[in-house]
Structure formats: C-alpha cells, structure tokens
Amino acid sequence: MSFKKVSVIGLGYIGLPTAAVIASRGIEVIGVDVNQHAVDTINQGNIHIVEPDLDIVVRGVVTTGNLRATTTPEPAEAFMIAVPTPFKEGNAPDLKYIEAAAKAIAPVLEKGNLIILESTSPVGATEKLSAWLKEARPDLSFPQDTGDSADIKVAHCPERVLPGYVLQELIANDRVIGGMSKACSEKAVELYQTFVRGECIITNARTAEMAKLTENSFRDVNIAFANELSVISDKLKINVWELIKLANRHPRVNILNPGPGVGGHCIAVDPWFIVDSCPEDANIIRQARLTNDAKPHYVIDQISKAADEFKRPVIACLGLAFKADIDDLRESPALQVVEELASKNIGQIFAVEPNVHSLPESLVHAGVEQVTLETALEKANIIVVLVDHKQFKAADKIQFTTKVVIDTRGII
C-alpha cells in the first residue's frame, strides 16, 4: 500500500465522500474541518450533508476506525484540500479558505508529504498554496524552487462529480492530475489510483485548474445558447423545443435545453474564475453568464403579461429546486422567479415542490402557498413549469389544456 495515512481538509460535499471512499480502501483517513458540529456528526457515524448512500459508507468506515474527524490537523502522508472557494464583491475569487488550510497543515508537514488542492480554483491558486506552505515552512523545499526533488509534492486534482451520484462518479470518472512537477503528478496518480477506476491523466497545475473551469464554462455557454434560442423563438413564434429537437437530428449538433436560468453553485459560478483572470478576452464566457442570469427576469415578464389577461390571476409555479428531481433550492433560478413574482403582488401564487416538505421563509412571508400538483391544476389559471421534476413529466397533459401554460422546460 503506497499510502497508509491520508488527511482530507474540508469535509463538505466533496471532502467527506472523498474521505469515506479512501477510508473504505483500508487507508487510515483523518478528516479535518473547522465546523465542530460536522466533526462530531461524522465521529458518531452520521453525515451533515445530503448525498445518497454516503451515510452508509461513512458509518462503515467510522465503525472500523478508518475514518476519524477532528478540527486539528495531524501528520499524514498526503493532504487533500477540498475547502470552499467563494467570490468577493464583483465576482473576484476569494482564496481565504485555501490560505487558512495551508496555514493549518503547515506545522504538521513532513518531508515526502503530498499536498493536493481539489477545490475549484482560479488558474494560479495551486502555486499560491505552495508559496503559503513555503512561507510557513522555510525548512522544507517545495516544487516551485526545486522541482522533482522537492521535499513536498504539490498538485491540483479537480473533481467533476455530479451531486446525487458522487460516490459512483468519484470512482468511475477520469481524473485530471496537475502536478507542479512531474514527480508531483506521479505521486498524486499513486494516491488517486487507490480508489479511482477511471483514467488518471497527467498535466501541469495551471492546466488542471483551467480544465475544471473549462468543463463548466463549456456547459454554461451551451445552456446560454439554448436560452437565447428560447427567447428568439418566442419572438419569432417558433416552438423552441421542436426547433432544438430538429436541429439535434444533425449528426454533429447537440444543443442543450433552455430553462428558467442556471442554478447550482458550479455551472453558474465557475466561469467567473476565467472572466476574473482574463476580463478582456473572456467575452463569450462572460456574456453566457449574463444571458443565463437574465433568463429568470424574462420568465417573470412572460408571467406578468399572462396575468394581465386575468381579473384574478391565480398562478401555480411547478418546481423550486435548481434542477430536476433534487431537493436543493440553493442558487435556484426557479426559487428566484417565485420570490420576485411574489414581490410584485400580481395575484395569488401557489408553489408545487414535491421534494421539500415546507417552503423557504422567503416564500411563506410573501404569501406563497405550497400545494399539491392536483390542487394547483384545479385552482390556478396560469401554470408556470420551472423544473422538470419527474412528477410533472408524468402528469396527464390533458389537465393543462384549459390553462395558460408558461413552460420553461418543454415538458408540457
């Protein structure tokens, strides 16, 4: 076994599954987090995040003692940093959590250690991490100075797992391994090959950082293209869903689906790292973000126009989650549409969200009522489809024929 003890810094929706999967390979894993509640929850064999089957794996490895959580870093052969990389005002990346993690592990570093940065980061972040470590430990050599022979190996290895399928994709997906030197990459490949069945492809740190941002920006630009098509099609009285289906019959065309905007904390966020690095050149990438962020307002205008046709508009919004068949309302354009609609006081508003038991306070305060799909179809005269949940897809379409339907997902 090339690694006997690994430490994962940051036990969130990437760090905890990663720690659990490595521990399930019989490697001792020390999970480190600043959140004492998370540490205590994990040490009791439970989890503080939502991810299918993760609780079973965590309970197993905590019971065998292979995974232990703590707030204080301990010596280990490898440290995998998976902490948040939020944005400051004006979409400027904030690396304070990476810097804090570097300062926290520096005292326990030993010659031969491997440091992996998994957090989605702007290009150059891994070099900054290595500089912060060097500042704290001038007694050790780092790859920016001594390349392959450095005491400490540093690499960037971004994750690309789909929430809801994390455990499967952590093992199955190919991984980009971006070492600050060839020896760093090779040591990182050794670590990932303890649990990754996909291919571990070696590159340098900057390219690995950019690969993650590129994957999500590619998706954001293509969703923006679909969203722009949906607005143009409305103006030209074309059904955009029929249009895209026809265009996609071309063997080399694959247009994604329009929606009410782009949610989640990945696709809607990662492109801003690239825009921040090259504001003069990242024009399509920036415009895609602006186009996708404008879509919720377009949908609200459509609803307002429809409501003007009724003396007493009763509007039922189907779906609040940021994408189909999940319960996550964070960064959800659907939630944004309902919140803004409620603030306009244009009529009674119902919300149908089968994946949550109660509405967020913001909607309750605004007088939005959570109802079943049946009640919505019975009482509303305007139906707004915001999320393509399977329950909505399964509804008998005949029930919609007497309603004004604004369908942002093309399921009706």
Q: Which is nearer to ligand SAJ, 132 or 273 (CB)?
A: 273
User: What Å distances lie between residue 186 and 26, 120, 171, 206, CA to CA?
Assistant: 21, 21, 19, 16
Nearest-angstrom CA–CA distance, 61 and 128 = 33
**From the list 15, 31, 263, 313, which residue makes contact with ligand SAJ (rule: CB under 6 A)?**
263
Q: Which residue type sits at 303?
A: I
**In 182-332, which residue ranges form alpha helices assigned H by DSSP?**
182-192, 205-235, 240-247, 271-277, 283-307
What is the signed CA dihedral for 363, 364, 370, 376, rounded to 10 degrees? -70
* DSSP label of 161: P
- Told to check if 264 binds ligand SAJ by CB under 6 A, we report yes
What is the CA angle 161-165-167, rounded to 5? 80
Q: Which is nearer to ligand SAJ, 305 or 330 (CB)?
A: 330
- Tell me which stretch binds ligand SAJ (CB under 6 A): 73-81, 106-114, 229-237, 255-263: 255-263
Question: Side by side, which strands form the sheet with 314-318?
Answer: 369-370, 348-352, 314-318, 382-385, 404-407
**From the list 211, 256, 356, 405, which residue makes contact with ligand SAJ (rule: CB under 6 A)?**
256
Site for ligand SAJ in 83-122 (CB under 6 A): none
CB 67 within 8 A of CB 31: yes
Tell the smallest beta-carbon distance from residue 292 to ligand SAJ (Å).
8
Contact characters 141-170, ligand SAJ, x per CB under 6 A: -------------------xxxx-------
Q: Which is nearer to ligand SAJ, 145 or 174 (CB)?
A: 174
Q: Which residue type sits at 192?
A: Y
Q: Which is nearer to ligand SAJ, 41 or 408 (CB)?
A: 408
Nearest-angstrom CA–CA distance, 217 and 240 = 23
Catalytic residue among 187, 266, 295, 317: 266
Nearest-angstrom CA–CA distance, 268 and 322 = 11
Contact partners, residue 166, CB within 8 Å, separation at least 6: 13, 14, 17, 51, 54
- Told to check if 296 binds ligand SAJ by CB under 6 A, we report no
Closest residue to ligand SAJ: CB criterion: 259
5 is an active site residue:
no
User: What Å distances lie between residue 358 and 287, 313, 361, CA to CA?
Assistant: 35, 23, 9
Q: Which is nearer to ligand SAJ, 162 or 253 (CB)?
A: 162
Tell the smallest beta-carbon distance from residue 145 to ligand SAJ (Å).
32
Q: Which is nearer to ligand SAJ, 39 or 244 (CB)?
A: 244
184 is an active site residue:
no
Tallying the residues shown for the chain, one arrives at 412
CB 9 within 8 A of CB 105: yes
Site for ligand SAJ in 200-219 (CB under 6 A): 215-216, 219
- Among 113, 108, 212, 195, which residue's Cα sits nearest to residue 156? 212
**From the list 123, 157, 267, 306, which residue makes contact with ligand SAJ (rule: CB under 6 A)?**
267
Q: Which is nearer to ligand SAJ, 31 or 264 (CB)?
A: 264
How many CB atoms are located within 10 Å of the residue 123 CB? 19
**From the list 79, 142, 273, 322, which residue makes contact with ligand SAJ (rule: CB under 6 A)?**
322
Catalytic residue among 153, 212, 295, 323: 212
Q: How big is the site for ligand SAJ, counted in residues (CB under 6 A)?
A: 18
Tell the smallest beta-carbon distance from residue 330 to ligand SAJ (Å).
11
- Told to check if 223 binds ligand SAJ by CB under 6 A, we report yes
Query: Where in the sequence numbering do the catalytic residues fall?
Result: 212, 266
* Site for ligand SAJ, rule CB under 6 A: 160-163, 215-216, 219, 223, 256-257, 259, 262-264, 266-267, 322-323
